[in-house]
Chains A and B, each alone.
Chain A
Amino acid sequence: MNEGVIRAEGLTKTFGEFRAVDAISFCVAEGEVFGFLGANGAGKTTAIKMLTGLLSPSGGKASVAGFDVYREAEKIKRNIGYMSQRFSLYDDLTPMENIRFFGGIYGLGRREIAEKGRFLIESLGLGPVAGNRLGSLPLGWKQKLAFSVAVMHEPKIVFLDEPTGGVDPLTRRRFWEMIYEAAARGLTVFVTTHYMDEAEYCDRISIMVDGRIAALGTPAALQAEFGVGSMDELFIRLARPRAKEGI
Chain B
Amino acid sequence: MRRGLKVIGYLLQKEFLQIFRNRGMLPIIFIMPFIQLVILSNAATFDVRNVPFHLQDMDRTALSARLAEQFTGSGWFNLTGESFSERKSVERLVAGQANVSLVIPRDFEKELMTRGEAKVQLVINAEDGFSAGVIQAYSNDIVRSFNRTLSSVLPNGLSHSGVGEIVVKSSAWYNPELVYSDYMVPGILVVLVTLVGLFLSGMNVVREKEIGTIDQINVTPMRRYQFITGKLLPFWIIGLGELTLGLVIARLGFHVPMLGSYAVVYLVAAIYMLVVLGMGLLISTLTDSQQQAMFIAWFFMVIFTLMSGLFTSIESMPHWAQNLTMANPVRHFVDIMRRVMLKGAGLAEISSPLLILTADAVLMLALAVNRYRKVSD
Binding site for B on A (CB under 8 A): 49, 52-56, 73-74, 77-78, 80, 82, 84, 86-93, 97, 100-102, 104-107, 133, 159
Chain B nearest Cβ from A72, distance in angstroms: 12
B211 touches A87 (CB 8 A): yes
Task: Name A92's contact: one of B3, B22, B215, B376 (CB within 8 Å).
Answer: B22
Partner of B375, one of A54, A88, A89, A102: A54
B375-A56 in contact (CB<8A): yes
Known contacts A92-B22, A100-B10, A101-B13; A106/B375 CB under 8 A: no
B21 contact set on A, CB distance < 8 A: 92-93, 133
- Given known pairs A104-B10, A105-B10, A107-B221, the reply for A87 and B375 (CB within 8 Å) is no
A-facing residues in B281-330 (Cβ within 8 Å): none
Check if B217 is an interface residue, CB within 8 A of chain A: yes
Closest to B222 in A: A105
Complex Cα–Cα for A78 and B3 (A): 14
Q: Does B133 contact A (CB under 8 A)?
A: no
Across-interface contacts of A87 in B (CB, < 8 A): 211-213, 215-216
Across the interface, B220 reaches (CB within 8 A) one of A77, A93, A159, namely A77
Interface residues of B in 212-268 (CB under 8 A from A): 212-213, 215-222
> Is B14's beta carbon under 8 Å from chain A?
yes
Considering the chains assembled together, what is the distance between the CA atoms of A93 and B16 in angstroms? 11
Contact with B221, one of A77, A88, A91, A159 (Cβ below 8 angstroms): A77
| Cα of A82 to Cα of B220 in the assembled complex, Å | 9
Are B215 and A54 interface neighbours, CB within 8 A?
yes
Q: Is the CB of A56 within 8 A of B17?
A: no
Whether the pair A54, B218 counts as a contact (CB closer than 8 A) is: yes
Q: Give chain A nearest CB distance to B91 CB in angstroms.
A: 60
A82 touches B3 (CB 8 A): no
Q: Which residues of B contact A (CB under 8 A)?
A: 3, 6-7, 9-11, 13-14, 17-18, 21-22, 211-213, 215-222, 374-377
Residues of chain B within 8 A (CB-CB) of A54 are 215, 218-219, 374-376
Residues of B within 8 Å of A74, CB to CB, are 221
> Which partner residue on chain B sits nearest A87 by CB separation?
B212
Closest-by-CB residue of B relative to A83 is: B216
Interface-centre pick from B21, B211, B220 (highest chain A CB count, 10 A): B220
Main secondary structure of the interface of B (DSSP, over half): helix
Closest A residue to B217 by CB, please name it: A105
CA distance A93 to B222 in the complex (A): 20
- Give 6 pairs: A residue, B residue, CB < 8 Å, sorted on A: A56-B375, A73-B374, A84-B215, A89-B213, A91-B211, A101-B10
Q: Kindly provide the distance from the CB of B115 to the nearest chain A CB, expressed in whole angstroms.
A: 82
Q: Please give, as numbers and ranges, the residues of chain A lying within 8 Å of B6 by CB-CB distance.
A: 104, 107
Output the nearest chain B residue to A103 by Cβ-Cβ distance.
B10
Q: Are A107 and B3 in contact (CB under 8 A)?
A: yes
**Contact call A104/B7, Cβ cutoff below 8 A:** yes
**B216 — which chain A residues lie within 8 A by C-beta?**
82, 84, 87-89, 102
Pick from B9, B18, B221, B377: contact of A93, CB below 8 A.
B18
Beyond A56-B375, A87-B215, 17 extra complex contacts between A and B, CB < 8 Å? A53-B219, A53-B374, A54-B218, A55-B375, A55-B377, A73-B375, A77-B220, A78-B221, A82-B219, A87-B216, A92-B18, A93-B14, A102-B216, A104-B7, A104-B9, A106-B220, A107-B6
Q: Is B14 a contact partner of A90 (Cβ separation < 8 A)?
A: yes
CB–CB A106/B219 < 8 A: no
**With A55-B375, A73-B375: A90-B220 Cβ-Cβ less than 8 Å:** no
In the complex, A175 Cα to B340 Cα: how many Å? Answer: 63
Kindly provide the distance from the CB of B103 to the nearest chain A CB, expressed in whole angstroms. 67
Contacts of A104 in B (CB 8 A): 6-7, 9-10, 13
- How far apart sit A246 and B261, CA to CA, in the bound complex (Å)? 71
A107 and B3 alpha carbons, distance in the complex (Å):
7
Q: Within the complex, what minimum Cβ distance (angstroms) separates B316 from chain A?
A: 48
- Report chain A residues within 8 Å CB of B218: 53-54
Give the distance in Å from the alpha carbon of A88 to the alpha carbon of B214 in the complex.
Answer: 9
Answer whether A105 and B11 are a contact pair too, CB < 8 Å, given A53-B374, A54-B215, A54-B376.
Answer: yes
Q: Which residues of A contact B376 (CB under 8 A)?
A: 54-56
Interchain nearest-CB distance for A83 vs B (Å): 8
- Residues on the A chain within 8 Å of B212, using CB: 84, 86-87
* Minimum C-beta distance from A21 to chain B (A): 14
Q: State which of B9, B11, B14, B22 has its C-beta within 8 Å of the C-beta of A97.
A: B14
Q: B207: shortest Cβ distance to chain A, in Å? A: 11
CB neighbours (8 Å) of A49 from chain B are 215
- 7 tightest CB-CB pairs across the interface, nearest first? A104-B10, A87-B212, A82-B219, A101-B14, A77-B221, A78-B221, A52-B219
Q: In chain B, what residue has the closest Cβ to A91?
A: B211
